């Protein structure tokens, strides 16, 4: 369970089984800073609150960080997808390559017919 820095002057409340982070605005009125995904405050929650702190982050830096995070997530998602495809293809490839009695051969008649077919596509 993560903790908020004391200097932020924020506190947590539990509402509907989820942790909420509360603070006071410039006029002293309570406002909800964040509603967390779970019953406790996580390091991600603290990092995301810090990322939007108007006293330490500029809008330009926030947008740049957000774009970088999006690119990182996309690359990660694509890599995971490719890994899943490769893993799923493994048994199929092995079954085709390791089949008993299968042979790989070559015939000049097949090659000639294939070349004729290729040539007919170019016409």
pLDDT along the chain (123 residues), means of 10: 87 92 92 92 90 84 91 96 91 70 72 88 75
**The predicted structure's pLDDT at residue 104:** 61
Around Cβ 50, how many Cβ atoms within 10 Å? Answer: 13
Rounded to whole angstroms, how far apart are CA atoms 68 and 78? 15
Q: Estimate to the nearest angstrom the gap between the alpha carbon of 59 and the chain centroid.
A: 23
In the structure encoding, which two tokens stand for residue 12, read together?
């947590």
pLDDT in tens, 51-70: 888 778 888 988 998 999 99
32 touches 11 (CB < 8 A): no
Average predicted confidence (pLDDT) for the chain: 87
Q: Which residue has the tokens 């369970």?
A: 1
Rounded to whole angstroms, how far apart are CA atoms 33 and 55? 15
**The predicted structure's pLDDT at residue 103:** 60
**The predicted structure's pLDDT at residue 91:** 80
Q: What is the largest CA-CA distance in the chain?
A: 89
């Amino acid at each position: 369970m993560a903790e908020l820095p004391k200097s932020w002057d924020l506190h947590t409340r539990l509402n509907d089984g989820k942790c909420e982070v509360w603070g006071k605005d410039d006029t002293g009125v309570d406002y909800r800073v964040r509603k967390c995904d779970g019953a406790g405050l996580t390091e991600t929650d603290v990092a995301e609150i810090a990322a939007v702190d108007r006293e330490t982050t500029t809008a330009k830096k926030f947008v740049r960080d957000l774009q970088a995070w999006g690119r990182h997530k996309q690359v990660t998602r694509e890599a995971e997808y490719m890994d899943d495809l490769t893993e799923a293809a493994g048994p199929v490839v092995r079954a085709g390559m390791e089949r008993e009695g299968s042979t790989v051969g070559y015939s000049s008649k097949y090659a000639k017919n294939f070349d004729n077919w290729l040539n007919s596509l170019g016409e």
